[in-house]
Amino acid sequence: MANQNQGASSKAAHASSPSFKEKPKLYEAEYFGSGTFRIVKPKRKSTKRRQSALKGTTRGARK
């Protein structure tokens, strides 16, 4: 019984440990009114952009 309680408390302690750092706010949306938003999001990494271009379909091609 004591073993089960110890396992549950260790997970909780890990999540609230001081070494665990929260990621900075990556996404942000600001409402200006009348359907206007300012949206901030991280840029795609260059490696992902490259893979998308290599594997993706040719632009304007018929399917």
Distance, in Å, from the CA atom of 63 to the CA atom of 58, rounded to the nearest integer, reads 10
Mean pLDDT of 23-38: 88
**Per-residue pLDDT reduced to its tens digit, 31-60:** 999 989 999 998 889 998 888 888 876 777
The ranges assigned to domains in the chain are: 23-55
pLDDT score at 39: 92
pTM of the predicted model over 0.85 = no
Does pLDDT of 4 surpass 80?
no
pLDDT for 26 = 86
Distance CA 36, CA 30 (A): 9
